[in-house]
Each structure stands twice: as structure tokens, then as C-alpha cells.
Copies of this chain bind each other. A is one copy, B any other.
Amino acid sequence: MIKIVILGAGNVGTHLFRVFTEAKEVEVVQWYNRSLDHIQLHRDTLAVTDQLDALMEADVYLLALSDDAIPITAKELTPLKGIVAHTAGSVSMDVLKHHTDHGVFYPLQTFSKNRAVDFKSIPICIEANSDQNRKTLKKLAEAIGENIHPINSIQRMGLHTAAVFVNNFTNHLYQVGAQICEEQEVPFGLLRPIIAETAAKIESITPKEAQTGPALRNDKTTLQKHLDQLRDPVFKNLYLTLTESIQKNDEYSKL
């Protein structure tokens, strides 16, 4: 049985609380949050606290906090016997190095308050300052997931950057699509099947193989029609930059 304390009750903290509570090989002994508001309705099930100096003994302390809060909170922590690990994509493991045992437990997924996620398929990226600690974090990951990878801080930073492209930026392109639909008074729902198919395609072929469209073909007539249609200068610029990136990328790959 691995005993853990979860620190933080944002999206990641809350999802980890839910999934670890249901995991057989894990006991969530305590939940810490800066404000008790978010966690006190669980006080019948486990210890809750808003005091960093009142943390209980555990094998792993999971810092599911904002990027800024991780180093600050890690410094405020009194020395602990367990592994202190954070869950962030873009924070180096080094910010925890004053703790004898430390590591990273990074689930690579986008978490929303009201959407259930299936942890079984989520990649969990593990890093630790010793083989023993890596083993413990791996065991913790195996209690909830089936897609576990040893990833160092530099690789994780890369993955986080890549995730911004395929999640934040992609979602923004959906929003551009939604705004064009609104302007043309057609329902956004018309774009849902092509959005789903675009994502589904790369399950079986690479994005490079899946690339199509006027930018790749350098179909100047269509490119100009699209630019004429876009009134917003920010979207026009976005269109040009993405077109250029597709074309440059294609040139490189032919060299």
C-alpha cells in the first residue's frame, strides 16, 4: 500500500484525488489546500488541512499546484520522509532538490473540472532523483494507469511545449472556426465531424501523411479567396503564418 498526501485542489489535484481514492494499492491519507473551501466536504473520508506544517506521514507528497506555487510551497515544506513530487509539465525537477527524495509525476492530459478522464490511457511521465524513488513513483502510476514513461526534465519541457501546440493552440483554431461560423450565421456544429475526423486520422497515419489543403498544394487561388474572406487582421496574420509554416516544413522535409 502506498500512502500519499495530495497538495492542491485545482483540476489536476481534484482528478488525482478521485482516481487515487478508487485505486486499491493507494491510500490517500490527507488532502492539503491553501483554502479549505474546496476540500472540506471530504473531511469525513480523509484528513484535510490548510496548514503546510501539519502534513501527515506518507510515502509520496504530490504537489498538484500551479507552476509558480510549486517552488514556493516546496521551500515552505519542513523536511519530509516521503518523496516530494510535483505534477507539472514545464517545471524542472530541480526546484525540489532540497528535499532528500524528490521526483515528478506528470499526467499528460488536459483536465477540466466537469469532465471525467480515463487515467488508464493517459501517459504518466515519471522522473526521480534515485532508482528507488523512480520505482515508487512508477508503482504509484501503475495503480491508476497503463501508459507510463520515464521522462527527464528537458524531455518533459519539450512535451509540454508540444502539448501547447496540440491542445491550447488547436483549441484556438477551433475558436477561429467558431467565429467564422458565427459571422456566416451557420451552426458551429457543421465543423464537429471534420474536427473529430482530423483528430482520429492521426491514430492510424502520421500528421505528415495526413497533411492536405491549399497551403501544402500552394494553391494560390484558394489561399487568396480565404484571405479575402478573413476580415479580422489577427486571423489574416494567423492564416498567413500557418500557411508559411506548412510550406517551409514541407520544403525542409524534401531537402
Contacts and interface: CB of A to CB of B under 8 A. Distances in A.
Interface of A: 67-68, 90, 108-110, 112, 115, 117, 121-123, 125, 147, 149, 151, 154-155, 157-181, 183-186, 188-208, 210-216, 219, 221-222, 225-226, 229-230, 234-235, 237-239, 241-242, 244-246, 248-249
Contacts of A229: 157-158, 161
A178 B206 contact: yes
A90 B216 contact: no
Given A112-B201, A166-B198, A184 B67 contact: no
A171 to B, nearest CB: 5
B173 A211 contact: no
26 contacts: A109-B197, A112-B201, A112-B210, A121-B193, A155-B186, A157-B225, A158-B181, A159-B180, A161-B180, A163-B177, A164-B213, A166-B176, A167-B197, A168-B214, A168-B215, A169-B246, A170-B199, A175-B211, A175-B249, A188-B206, A196-B203, A199-B199, A199-B200, A234-B244, A234-B249, A235-B245
Contacts of A213: 164, 167-168
A159 B178 contact: no
Nearest to A120: B193
Number of copies: 2
A245 B189 CA distance: 23
Contact of A199 (B155, B163, B180, B195): B195
Contact of A175 (B178, B183, B208, B221): B208
Contact of A242 (B117, B163, B238): B238
B121 A186 contact: no
B159 A181 contact: yes
